[in-house]
Structure 1
């Protein structure tokens, strides 16, 4: 790339933040389709799909909390673009962080409320803060499912913006996180 804004000139995010970004992205790209497929699999494997989906989701929660901590302990590289682009990018990033915490929390609580304690990868049982609560189980499940679609939309916006910057603008935005 001959552009003066190539990858060599870009100030990148800290290595810990880049690692956590791609780890969460990979886990979400596994767990989101697993959650979608649960409704279509045979009953004899349905619990296996739930176990993996819920376990990865719980892992995403803890990685996101770590990621938020890392993000709060240092500054991000300066953003490029107009004020509206920076505001939009900041809003999408903030909402991604919010839903990447909200989704696993509501999924975990929904599992508990339906009367199933989380068996993290079959290794141990995670303490249930609410126990079986049928009155709120379906509400938590609905929030979790709605959040999944919102997260998918935010992911598409985020990916679209990254591709826009990389392919059309040919600037260093994508290189900040690579």
Structure 2
């Protein structure tokens, strides 16, 4: 089978697959891109020159705050948009449900804890240096470390879950050659 024939066969398969609703796919990929930008940005802040660290923090926090709002939209969308039928055995579907549920939880906990940590450290958020965001707790150094720890643990937990998620996608796509990936494209 030539490359051209495979491409046509793949396109035909994608068109026949019951896919996630367009809103679900759009929100999924927007959050994925933002996480892929925000997570490494947060990791390199400590290694940047002091004169640009605040700019890195502002960008990291602003992108994280955007992730929070998009995740709230995703949760609402998930409640009203019917997903396609999952593939695999019952145990695999349960594991996938657990991983997806934990991803959703951490994608809310992480930006909330980061936002509260910066507030508690005394740095209110000005979203993309344009919109001041109300600080619900204000400067509270005695709890800032708790929120920072939650933010850090959830970041590493998110990375582990993301690795599981991507590994499962690769197994479905490259090993089993089923339509799981095409449902989200």
How does the TM-score come out when normalised to structure 1?
0.96
Report what 1:78 is aligned to. 85
Q: Which residue of 2 aligns with 1:99?
A: 106
Contact 1:110–1:140, Cα closer than 8 Å, also in 2: yes
* Cα-to-partner distance string for 1:86-128 (whole Å, 9 max, x where unaligned): 0000000000000000000000000100000001000021000
The 2-side partners of 1:124 and 1:13 are apart by 33
Q: CA RMSD of the aligned region, Å?
A: 1.4
Q: Note the C-alpha offset of 1:6.
A: 3.5
| C-alpha distance in 2 between matches for 1:8 and 1:34 | 36
The answer to whether 1:49 aligns with 2:56 is yes
Q: Equivalents in 1 of 2:181, 2:86: separation in Å?
A: 11
Structure in which a larger fraction of residues adopt helix: 2
Q: What is the Cα deviation at residue 9 of structure 1?
A: 3.1
Counterpart in the other structure of 1:59? 66
Matches of 1:143 and 1:38, distance apart in 2: 18
Q: TM-score, normalised by structure 2?
A: 0.93
1:54-102 Cα deviation digits (max 9, x unpaired): 0000000000000110110122111010011000000000000000000
Structure 1, unmatched stretches of 5+, are none
- 8 Å CA contact 2:68–2:112 kept in 1: the answer is yes
How many residue pairs match? The answer is: 177
More off after superposition, 70-79 vs 43-52: 70-79
Correspondent of 1:120 among 123, 127, 132 = 127
Unaligned runs of 5+ in 2: 1-5
* 2:138 equivalent in structure 1: 131
Q: Using the alignment, how far apart are the partners of 2:81 and 2:65 within structure 1?
A: 25
